[in-house]
């Protein structure tokens, strides 16, 4: 059940990120869904978002009968840009949902300026980005709605779970109500959901959150070894990131330069056969069967990144010998 451990976990999240309010929920997906509701997104509205993301990003928009409008990412990058998004704004656009993909901060400053200028709502899908930094602040520090996930593949996990950060008190109170069937002040004030985090989940999260900086530090050490190994190899390109930002390296994405003849699928198969659990690149949502009405949409940078990138192992505790073995096998692949 929900109890004091959930509140303690929320307080730790606030303290760690610098946000005024935190609401723990059952998953990152439920965090996104509730954010759409409290942002007032409704039937007929359009929400600009990336296609290069886990499908929950766009599904959350569909949950409120709004329309996802897919935006292309930057070249050799994983996040959408204000310039690309601005070209998609119409009279129906209500919000922009940015994603800090695999922990890499999106251009928050640029999107805030765009949303303020166009009178739009900015929502952040920070499922992978707890502990990442933008202009020396943790992601979620100063936002209207920022959503995190605590799925097992994230920096910290509660088994399943999520959270929403906000600096708006009214939004905070409504989020708490909506996660618990609309219950507040001993009555059910509106239709809500069973999106509660349990005390058991929160207790797991509390202990991990106390160690998060150590976990991120170790990931950054692994990533630095990868970066040094691949930066001078023309077959690969490092993922572009913004100045004044620091990623938590929730994942390490290696972009394969297809122009020199390497096939990402072949490299992935080779690594798997060597006992290295690398994974394919990030999903193109607009190419999925559940989004078949978008299948003919052309997003060249998104498609390039999805096709020509792989995710390498990065975890704690991962020793330097494991990292060197992975690097050795990648460098000798032809």
CB 97 within 8 A of CB 76: no
Phi and psi torsions of 241, nearest 5°: -130, 165
Tell me what pLDDT residue 2 has. Answer: 80
Instruction: Please determine, for residue 185, whether its predicted confidence score (pLDDT) is greater than 90.
Output: no
Same structural domain, 104 and 120 = yes
- Kindly list the distances between the CA atom of residue 315 and the CA atoms of 155, 161, 179, 228, in Å, as whole numbers in the listed order: 9, 20, 31, 18
Instruction: Please determine, for residue 235, whether its predicted confidence score (pLDDT) is greater than 70.
Output: yes
Task: Report which DSSP code applies to 103.
Answer: G
Q: For residue 314, what pLDDT band results from cuts at 50, 70 and 90?
A: very high
Tell me what pLDDT residue 326 has. Answer: 98
Tell me what pLDDT residue 32 has. Answer: 98
Residue that terminates a domain, selected from 193, 209, 225: 209
Number of domains in the chain: 2
Same structural domain, 154 and 252 = no
Nearest partner of 213 among 133, 134, 146, judged by Cα: 133
Domain interval for residue 304: 212-331
Same structural domain, 262 and 144 = no
For residue 152, the domain's CATH number is 3.40.640.10
Same structural domain, 22 and 119 = yes
Residue 160 CA to residue 310 CA, distance in Å, equals 25
Tell me what pLDDT residue 218 has. Answer: 97
CB 68 within 8 A of CB 200: no
Tell me what pLDDT residue 3 has. Answer: 87
Q: In a 3-state reduction of DSSP, which class is residue 24?
A: strand
Instruction: Please determine, for residue 243, whether its predicted confidence score (pLDDT) is greater than 70.
Output: yes
User: Looking at residues 144-149, what average pLDDT do you find?
Assistant: 98
Same structural domain, 16 and 145 = yes
Q: What is the pLDDT of residues 90-121, one digit of tens each?
A: 999 999 999 999 999 999 999 999 999 999 99
What's 137-184 look like in SS3?
A: EECCCCCCEEEEECCCCCCCCCCCCEEEEECCHHHHHHHHHHCECCEE
Share of the chain above pLDDT 90, in %: 94
When computed from its CA atoms, the radius of gyration of the chain, rounded to whole angstroms, is 20
For residue 258, the domain's CATH number is 3.90.1150.10
Phi and psi torsions of 305, nearest 5°: -65, -40
Same structural domain, 44 and 170 = yes
Tell me what pLDDT residue 101 has. Answer: 98
Instruction: Please determine, for residue 1, whether its predicted confidence score (pLDDT) is greater than 70.
Output: no
User: Looking at residues 300-318, what average pLDDT do you find?
Assistant: 96
Same structural domain, 199 and 216 = no
User: Looking at residues 58-67, what average pLDDT do you find?
Assistant: 98
Q: For residue 177, what pLDDT band results from cuts at 50, 70 and 90?
A: very high
Same structural domain, 91 and 33 = yes
Same structural domain, 324 and 177 = no
Q: What is the pLDDT of residues 258-304, one digit of tens each?
A: 888 789 999 999 999 999 999 998 999 999 999 999 999 999 999 99
CB 68 within 8 A of CB 284: no
Q: In a 3-state reduction of DSSP, which class is residue 68?
A: strand
CA torsion sign for 110, 114, 119, 123 is negative
Tell me what pLDDT residue 259 has. Answer: 83
Instruction: Please determine, for residue 69, whether its predicted confidence score (pLDDT) is greater than 80.
Output: yes
In the chain, how long is the greatest CA-to-CA distance?
A: 66
């Amino acid at each position: 059940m929900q109890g004091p451990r959930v509140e303690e976990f929320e307080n730790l999240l606030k303290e760690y990120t610098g946000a005024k309010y935190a609401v723990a929920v059952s998953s990152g997906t439920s965090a996104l869904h509730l954010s759409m509701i409290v942002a007032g997104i409704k039937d007929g509205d359009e929400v600009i978002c990336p296609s290069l993301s886990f499908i929950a990003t766009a599904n959350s928009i569909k949950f409120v009968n709004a329309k996802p409008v897919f935006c292309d990412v930057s070249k050799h990058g994983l996040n959408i840009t204000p310039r690309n998004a601005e070209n998609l704004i119409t009279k129906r656009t209500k919000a922009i949902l940015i994603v800090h993909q695999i922990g890499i901060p999106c251009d928050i400053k640029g999107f805030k300026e765009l949303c303020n200028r166009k009178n739009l709502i900015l929502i952040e899908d920070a499922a992978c980005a707890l502990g990442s930094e933008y202009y020396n602040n943790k992601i979620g520090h100063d936002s209207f709605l920022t959503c995190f996930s605590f799925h097992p593949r994230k920096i910290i996990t509660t088994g399943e779970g999520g959270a929403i950060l906000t600096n708006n008190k009214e939004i905070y109170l409504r989020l708490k109500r909506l996660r618990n069937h609309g219950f507040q002040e001993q009555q059910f004030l509106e239709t809500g959901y069973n999106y509660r985090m349990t005390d058991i989940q929160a207790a797991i999260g509390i202990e991990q959150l106390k160690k998060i900086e150590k976990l991120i530090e170790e990931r950054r050490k692994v990533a630095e070894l990868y970066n040094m190994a691949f930066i001078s190899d023309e077959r690969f390109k490092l993922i572009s990131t913004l100045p004044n930002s620091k990623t938590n390296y929730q994942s390490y994405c290696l972009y394969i330069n297809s122009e020199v003849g390497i096939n990402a699928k072949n490299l992935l198969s080779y690594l798997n056969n060597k006992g290295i659990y690398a994974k394919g690149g990030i999903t193109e949502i607009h190419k999925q069967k559940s989004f078949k009405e978008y299948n003919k949409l052309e997003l060249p940078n998104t498609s390039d990144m999805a096709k020509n990138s792989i995710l390498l192992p990065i975890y704690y505790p991962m020793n330097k010998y494991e990292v060197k073995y992975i690097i050795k096998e990648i460098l000798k692949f032809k």
